[in-house]
Amino acid sequence: MRVLEVFTVFLRLGLSSFGGPVAHLGFFRAEFVGRRAWLSDAEYAELVAVANFLPGPSSSQVGLAVGLHRAGWVGAGAAWLGFTLPSALLMALLGGTLAGGAADGAGWVQGVKLAAVAVVAQAVAGMWGALVTDRVRAGLALGAAAALLVLPAWWPGAGGWGTLGVLGVCALIGWRVLSGAASGAGALRVPVSRRAGGALLALAAVLAATFAALSALGGGLELLWATFRAGALVFGGGHVVLPLLEPAFVPGLLPHGVFVAGYGAANAMPGPLFTFASYLGAAAAPALGLGAAVGALLGTLGIFLPGALLMLGTLPFWSALSGRAGARAALAGVNAGVVGLLLAALYTPVFTGAVRGPADLAGALLAYAALTAGRVPAWVVVPVCAALGALLA
């Protein structure tokens, strides 16, 4: 049964995918493009491109779309549940006891960071070979990577808007230059009609207005609006959620120390960083007159719902648009830009956040060798690196 297969695969990824959204995308590509062939590289790049154009948790949005592609609407829900459940439960337990703590210095965490370097490097290499097929695309990929690396120094507040702008430039150049060589793009098809997509986008707007209007009533509605608003505004990765959530919870609902401790714990968990909201919902539940389980559930649904509605609502329009020659050319440019995006992220934050010296670099290289030359799957490499990191710490 495809739905059960989707849930099982994503549950395993939810238990083993450390390293943040960029690493998750690497794990997803290794699993769904390389190992299982559910998607082609071009289809996968389209999903990554859509997710990067939208606010929300990009890896979770891509996971939803993969589940939808494989097993329909129920498959989308199974993918989200499997990938989210492990870290959401752990974070909710931490929040319920107010016992979350930062674990960045732990040896096993360092081990999985080095594994993430190898996984992302493998994804970059594979997508480069499939999508960067000429000098124009190579120029777009390298130019996008260079721009994304230096943009924070030029425009410190750019956040995800900088990524959006760079991919937009790649789309424009692709539209003008790649018209005769873009036939490989636009292959993605999803079982969602444009009417259904429009309804999902309208539902996102209605829920935002409803939660905003009723949030003054407090309790669960206040929690839903705080997390829904953050989930709808996050561009540029899960870490951006921190400054968006803090004003809603500190100091009114949580002490600053409890808030920061939970964020540290979220960074040591597998799966999506957005499950930080599961912790916040459970920890803030007493102040809101809720049980910890209810608070965790509302926080989790609130933070993920807008990104899910936007992703699933946008896909049918994206697919229709990508069927046109000009749109396919623009998408070819975006695909090259996505490779540049992953290349830039491979350096920072993945490489710079993990490799502290020659020994760490050696560990990352050995993990990369295991993935590529040894053909060891990522879900085996990651726990082995974690165990070695704990032993050698």
Q: What is the pLDDT of residues 177-214, one digit of tens each?
A: 986 554 444 556 778 889 999 999 999 999 999 999 99
Torsion, Cα 253 258 261 267, to 10 degrees, reads -20
Size of the chain in residues = 393
Q: Which of 391, 372, 384 is nearest to 34 (CA)?
A: 372
Q: Which of 328, 274, 379 is nearest to 61 (CA)?
A: 274
pLDDT on residue 205: 97
Q: What is the mean pLDDT of the chain?
A: 86
Number of neighbours of residue 266 by Cβ within 10 angstroms = 28
Using DSSP, state whether 260 is helix, strand or coil.
helix
At CA 228, angle to CA 72 and CA 249, rounded to 5? 145
Q: Does residue 307 register a pLDDT over 90?
A: yes
Q: Does residue 100 register a pLDDT over 50?
A: no
pLDDT on residue 262: 79
Tens-digit pLDDT profile for residues 2-27:
999 999 999 999 998 887 788 899 99
pLDDT on residue 200: 97
Which tokens go with 262? Answer: 């939970």
pLDDT on residue 326: 81
pLDDT on residue 52: 80
pLDDT on residue 235: 63
Q: Which residue did the predictor score with more confidence, 82 or 107?
A: 82
Average pLDDT value for residue range 336-361: 87
pLDDT on residue 101: 43
Tens-digit pLDDT profile for residues 254-300:
887 788 777 877 877 889 989 999 999 999 999 999 999 999 999 99
Distance between CA atoms of residues 88 and 182, nearest Å: 41
**Are the C-beta atoms of residues 39 and 69 closer than 8 Å to each other?**
yes
Residues of the chain with pLDDT > 90, as a percent, come to 48
